[in-house]
Every structure is written in structure tokens, then in C-alpha cells.
A = this chain, B = another copy of it.
Amino acid sequence: MSDDVFAADGRVIGSRALATRRKLLDATAKLLQEQGILDLRVVDISRDVGSSPATFYQYFNDVDEAILELAKEATEDEKPLVALLQPGWNESDGLERAGRFVDAYMAYWDTHHAVLRARNLKAEEGNRYFRAVRTEANLLVMDALQAMVTEGIAAKRLSDSLDPFTTAAAVVAMCERLLAFRPEMARRGANRDAIRNTLATLLYGALTGH
């Protein structure tokens, strides 16, 4: 197991090259956010870091590879969310706990939405590498959710017609997608708090049966 970073041709790279690669990744993330994946051009990324397009191809075989790397980095930031999904939401402070999870999830989404959107598109269009990254990220959260649902069914608080895995997926789906709607909802008068509280209430209900 090595922490070495490789260039596109497979050689291990030094510290100067590592810095260049980092700048390219940051520029990719920035432009992905500003222009969207459909207008993301290697020329622009290169220009942004003040190098030539050829330099980009020293480190990545194509733009996808850079985005994939960013998606993996986003997955790292998702890990702390799991700690907020411990069983026990059926206690009296359950709704509060749900709220704290929603806060953390919203912050996570705000930071990475452009990359996550790109990741999801690629995954849905069938790219296996993006699929793998997305699945890994989703399973982190879904495993914890699934445990909560299973517990709720066992305690007869939740209907046994719920499939725990699917329910966990549905909860993730709802969180992810609702946040993608946010800018548009804001324009129609739903502010951050309304979204936050409603999502927390729905999660609380779906996961505990209360």
C-alpha cells in the first residue's frame, strides 16, 4: 500500500509535479462548478492554472479521470456523516438528531454539489468507475440507515412491508435530490429552515415510525 501518486504514463511523480496536479484538480473543481460538466474544457482548466493543455494530459488520461479523483475526495468528506446515524433516534431527542444529520448533509452537499452531480450523471450513464465510487459513498450512509430501519421493523414501529435496503436508498435519494431542488425552491419561497425541518421530520418519520 503506497501513497505515491502517478502520472498518466504510470511513473511516480515528485513534489513539484504533485503541486501541479493539485492545481489542476482544484481548477477542474472550480470550473465544474462555474460552467458545468457540459462546457468543461481542458483548455480552460490549463489556462486557469497557467499551463498548457499538454500538461493536463501528463496527469490525467482525460477529464473524467480528474473528476473521478474529485469524486473520491468527496467520498472522504462523507464519512463523518455516518457518525450522526447511530441507532436511538426513537428516543426523545430523535427529531433533534435528525436535524443535526440534515445540517451536516446540507453542508456536505453545498461543498461538493458540482462534483457529486457530475459523478451521478456519469454513474447513471453507465460508467463503471463512477458507479463504483457512488455506490461506495452511498453504502457508507445506507448501511447505517438500513440498521435503523431493521431495528424499527423489529420493534414494530415500522411496517414490515418496508425493505430495509430499499428504504435506506429512498432516504438517501430524498436527501440528495431535495438539495438539488433547493435553488429553485428558494425562488418559490421555501427557505433553508423550512427545508431543513421538513427533511428532518420526514427522515425521523421514515426511520423511526413516529
Contacts and interface: CB of A to CB of B under 8 A. Distances in A.
Nearest to A125: B36
A162 B198 contact: yes
A205 B195 CA distance: 19
B173 A190 contact: no
Contacts of A131: 184
A86 to B, nearest CB: 22
A124 B180 contact: yes
Contact of A169 (B38, B161, B176, B185): B185
A197 B161 contact: yes
A163 interface: yes
A135 interface: yes
Interface string A188-202: 111000110111011
